[in-house]
Each structure stands twice: as structure tokens, then as C-alpha cells.
Structure 1
């Protein structure tokens, strides 16, 4: 019978014994799509399979909080895959984006905050990282919590150089957290960030220095 074990000994990502051949370039558009031959040894039996990965790289997301107003600033942005999958392509999201080259993640988070919600963070702190879809995407997201002045948020934002159009929205933290149970938001960055916020809401003044 399986017995419970401590998280430190079981619930942890580990290195894999794997033989990888490739890559073969499948497509080279906005991001590279590559194909690899992967061989894993399952109980003494080597098994070889073909796996494709999309090279996304490192990204950042920002949980933008106005402590004095008890609000979070989210954005709406059109996403073509969401449109195809659900018919609701006008996605609710947190501000997020790619890290440019050797740009430090903290600076990328500051830049994305300014670009996507139109205001600079007064304080900002890294809080966690995750892999959005490790079965297909080579992407690692780092999430920051930031203090912002929600009253200064414009109606529209986005980096013109990227043909980006975002619509910032001021939402009470209570309303945002309540949306977790409705099934009406499906964006992974947003859901995971709101779950983090639900667990850490009481710590926001400490994390953001009462800003």
C-alpha cells in the first residue's frame, strides 16, 4: 500500500535520464517550432518517441495591486487561440509579456506593467515561477506582485511597436477572487495568479512595503 510521504521527498521536479536527438526545424514563425527524438528507459525498456516543442523562452507576469483601494488591475486582450477554442477571444489577463534577450526579469516586469496598464509600479517583488504548458511549450513564467496607483490607469494601453492593444480594468480584489469559482475565466496566468493572491492577500502590505 502506498503511504503518504513528505513533499520534500516526493512532490518535487527531478532530473530525468533521457537521450535526446535533434532538433529538426518544423516551423520558424513568431517562435521556433522544433522536433526532437526522445528516448526514455521505462523499467529497463528503452522507449523512443517524437516530441515537438515551441520555443517561447522566459516571460513575466504582474499581479498589479492598489492597496489603498483594495483593487487589482487586470487587462482585456484579444487571443486568437481562445477565440477558436471557446468563442471568447477577448481574454481577461494579468499584464504579462516576454523577457527581451538578457533583460533582467524585474526590469521586464516593470516595462510590461507600463506598456500594458499604462502606469509604472511603485514597488515590485518576485513571488513565484511556473511552467505554463511543459508538455509543448519551452516557457518559464516569473510572476511579480506590484503596487500601482489604479486611479492613473488609462482606458487603453499597449506597446505600439508590437501592434498591441490592451484595455486595463480596475477590479476589486474581492470580485477578482470570486471569479475563480465561476468558470468564466480560463487564462492560466490569471487563474494561477489569483490563486496565489487568495493565499497571500494578508501579506500584501508586507510584500509591498505598505505602499
Structure 2
């Protein structure tokens, strides 16, 4: 039997150690002093509880404890066809939304995935190919956003790129070895935009559709 905490002083199943040290060296904000980092879980993602002192504007100091969920950073992309005014989305089962009142857990989304060890642009080309079957060329960087800053560390890189209908390779995609069963869904852009809040309830997808209407490929056009 191996003594020690996986992810801290002995490798976890992904070979990582030292995960209990993240944040201890932060000095960018003089009002925040990290005192302790507790590693709560280290499986595929990492759950930590961090205790820090926070100096308020009136000079008083409070000690806070916050849990953070670190799943790595990610990227997402809106694939669009300007002439036909269509967008290419995916639909797949998401247990997290299913357990939180979504009717069937089948979420309509833009293609997305974690960066792993790739750059954001390389990662989103990889994910677009895996999830939609479309090989993406040049991409436009739209913005970077922290999606759930209260507890999740992930920064999501947003991209957009045109696609060709000739590049569509069937109606299903995904990596079987990762348990992915993804339906590729081509929608009229105006239909997708009008579906926000009903059929489209994924935050990254809402943001990219609104960007496309306000500042992107479909801004000012009908």
C-alpha cells in the first residue's frame, strides 16, 4: 500500500503531484494573502479548498475559505455558413444539466473541449473535427471568458470560423472511446437565435450566437 495523498506527494492517476501548492505563491493582488490550500479530490479534475486573508477597503481583514474546481481551460467555436445563413451545432447528453432540471439532458451546443496540452487554436480545430467532422481552417478569436468565476477556474477561449457544406460528414460524430455520441445539427441562424432560452440554453452557445448577430458574420444582415 502506498502512503501519501494522490496528486499531492504521490502521483494521481494522471501522474500529477504538487496540486496542493497551487495558489500559494500568488502575489498579484496585495489585498489577498493565501494561507493554505487543501487538496480535496484529484481524479480527472481537481477540487481544492483554499483559505486566504482578504483586506477590505476599510482596512479590516477577513479570513475566507473557498472551494475551486479546476478542470483546465477550454475552447469553443461557432461554425457558420454566411451565404446560407446557417450555423453548425452539436447535441449530446450532459448529465450535469439532466440532474439539474433539464428535460432530457440533450444539450444543443457549439463545439467545444478542453485544451489539454494544445494551444487554444489547435485545441478548437481538434474539437471541431472530432465533434462535427468539419476540418476548420483559419479561425477568428472572439474573446476569452471565465464562465463560472464563483467556483470554477476554467477560462474559455471563444472562436468563430466559416464551414463548407461539402465538409459535412454525416449526422453523428464524437470519439467512441471517450463515450461520445454526438448529433451534428445544422440550423438556420435566425432560428437558432430565436431559440435562445428555449432550445438553446447553453451559455457559450448563447454568447456566440449573440456575438454573431451583434458584431459577427450576421450583424446588420437579413
Q: If the TM-score is normalised by the length of the shorter chain, which range does it land in?
A: 0.7 to 0.9
Q: CA RMSD in A?
A: 1.9
Q: What number of residue pairs does the alignment pair up?
A: 189
Match of 1:169 among 185, 193, 216: 185
**How do 1:4-43 residues align onto structure 2 when only pairs under 5 Å count?**
15=29, 17-42=31-56, 43=58
**How do 1:173-192 residues align onto structure 2 when only pairs under 5 Å count?**
173-180=189-196, 182-192=197-207
Normalised TM-score (structure 2): 0.79
Native 8 Å contact 1:153 1:168 kept in 2: no
State the Cα deviation string for residues 137-189 of structure 1 (Å, max 9, x = none): 01000011011123524211012332222111000111111112x44432111
Whether 2:142 is the aligned partner of 1:127: answer yes
Q: Tell me, which stretches of 5 or more residues in structure 1 are unaligned?
A: 1-13, 205-211
**How do 1:45-56 residues align onto structure 2 when only pairs under 5 Å count?**
45-56=60-71
Native 8 Å contact 2:52 2:64 kept in 1: yes
Native 8 Å contact 2:82 2:218 kept in 1: no
2:21 alignment counterpart:
none
Q: Tell me, which stretches of 5 or more residues in structure 2 are unaligned?
A: 1-27
State how far apart, in whole Å, the 2-side matches of 1:198 and 1:169 are: 19
> CA 1:203/1:40 → structure 2, altered by over 3 Å: closer, same or farther?
same
The structure whose RCO (Cα within 8 Å, separation 6+) is larger is: 1
Structure with a larger share of its residues in helix? 1
Match of 1:100 among 108, 116, 120: 116
4+ residue runs of structure 1 moved beyond 3 angstroms? 201-204
How far the C-alpha of 1:123 sits from its partner, in A, is 3.0
Native 8 Å contact 1:71 1:150 kept in 2: no
Native 8 Å contact 1:70 1:172 kept in 2: yes
Normalised TM-score (structure 1): 0.83
State how far apart, in whole Å, the 2-side matches of 1:157 and 1:191 are: 22
Structure with a larger share of its residues in strand? 1
